């Protein structure tokens, strides 16, 4: 079935903006709810895209945007929360409560097709609150009666507007030397356009219903290698020194409280206790040919 009108919750963000632009380029009508219209100003100019200021946690508001849609993509996610067991309040709200409300609204509005954004390494028993809450949100979506759900688990995502290689580059342009924990942690970064294509291709493909896909790039890197590459590509390579775990936790505790939001948290360090690489437990999408980081990152980092 071809889905013509798609609600993209979290469509104003880094990955969402690529998915929304791709859907618009294919002539699909897209509704993007946002908490603040100005957050999505880059989407205003796209034909077929309607940005609406809406609280998606309000059942009536969610019903209103769903009533105009025949499919929904949920991309809402946060990286930090105050602590809690099994996860903190911000993770509960974004990763667990929203999927619960979305399932109920889809059932009320008879919108069956849902694409859901989880994350590589999501695990109900994982070491971090982020991983545990992401796994619970995915479970809620996949178990929902009457819904046709596909879930995606990307590794860390790179692209011109990423908050990952760009942050590594920015830190190296500001500091003479970097001292960080978790340098041995492994990642398999994936390009944002590849992630967007995986979502768009799955939308009308009924063979993806009920499935979970991992989205990873072609190569595994340690955190230290990624820092090194970001430094080289941006023209500010700096020495990188590994911190022992105890010092890294003290540093993260400090970075949780920097003005403008946490740069890094103790929960991020907990996430890095398990390597963020393809597990082999879930398939890749059909025809998955991921773009190498080396083909893209030098171009956008060199402009920094």
Ligand X SMILES: NC(=O)c1ccc[n+]([C@@H]2O[C@H](COP(=O)([O-])OP(=O)(O)OC[C@H]3O[C@@H](n4cnc5c(N)ncnc54)[C@H](OP(=O)(O)O)[C@@H]3O)[C@@H](O)[C@H]2O)c1
Q: Which listed residue (30, 46, 66, 94) binds ligand X by CB under 6 A?
A: 94
Q: Please, what is the minimum distance in Å from the beta carbon of residue 214 to ligand X?
A: 11
178 scored as a contact of ligand X (CB under 6 A): no
Residues of span 139-168 touching ligand X by CB under 6 A: 154, 156-157, 164
Mask: binding to ligand X, 49-88, rule CB under 6 A, as x and -? Answer: -------x------------------xxxx----------
Retrieve residue 267's tokens.
């929960």
10 scored as a contact of ligand X (CB under 6 A): yes
Report d(CA 144, CA 15) in Å as an integer.
25
How many residues of this chain interact with ligand X, rule: CB under 6 A?
A: 23
CB atoms within 10 A of CB 219: 14
Q: Which listed residue (3, 6, 7, 15) binds ligand X by CB under 6 A?
A: 15
129 scored as a contact of ligand X (CB under 6 A): no
With the CA atoms of 81, 53, 135 and 59 taken in that order, what torsion angle do they form, in degrees rounded to the nearest 10? 110
Q: Please, what is the minimum distance in Å from the beta carbon of residue 176 to ligand X?
A: 27
- Distance of alpha carbon 254 from its chain centroid, rounded? 24
- Distance of alpha carbon 244 from its chain centroid, rounded? 28
Report d(CA 254, CA 199) in Å as an integer.
37
Contact 244, 157 (CB under 8 A): no
Q: Please, what is the minimum distance in Å from the beta carbon of residue 103 to ligand X?
A: 16
């Amino acid at each position: 079935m071809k889905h013509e009108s798609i609600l993209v919750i979290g469509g104003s963000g880094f990955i969402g903006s690529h998915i929304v632009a791709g859907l618009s380029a294919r002539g699909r009508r897209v509704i993007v709810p946002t908490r603040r219209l100005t957050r999505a100003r880059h989407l205003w100019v796209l034909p077929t895209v309607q940005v609406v200021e809406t609280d998606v946690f309000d059942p009536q508001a969610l019903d209103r945007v769903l009533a105009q849609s025949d499919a929904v993509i949920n991309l809402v996610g946060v990286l930090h929360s105050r602590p809690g067991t099994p996860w903190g309040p911000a993770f509960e709200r974004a990763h667990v409560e929203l999927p619960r409300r979305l399932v109920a609204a889809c059932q009320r509005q008879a919108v069956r097709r849902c694409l859901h954004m989880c994350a590589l390494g999501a695990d109900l028993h994982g070491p971090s609150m982020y991983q545990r809450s992401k796994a619970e949100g995915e479970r809620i979506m996949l178990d929902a009666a009457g819904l046709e759900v596909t879930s995606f688990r990307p590794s860390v995502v790179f692209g011109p507007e990423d908050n990952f290689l760009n942050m590594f580059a920015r830190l190296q342009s500001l500091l003479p030397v970097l001292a960080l924990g978790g340098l041995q942690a492994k990642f398999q970064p994936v390009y944002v356009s590849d992630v967007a294509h995986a979502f768009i291709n799955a939308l009308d493909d009924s063979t993806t219903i009920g499935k979970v896909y991992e989205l990873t790039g072609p190569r595994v890197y340690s955190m230290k290698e990624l820092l090194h590459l970001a430094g080289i590509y941006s023209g500010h390579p700096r020495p990188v020194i590994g911190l022992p775990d105890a010092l890294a936790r003290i540093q993260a505790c400090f970075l949780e409280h920097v003005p403008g939001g946490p740069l890094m948290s103790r929960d991020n360090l907990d996430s890095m206790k398990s390597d963020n690489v393809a597990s082999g437990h879930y398939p890749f999408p059909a025809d998955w040919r991921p773009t190498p980081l080396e083909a893209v990152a030098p171009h956008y980092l060199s402009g920094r």
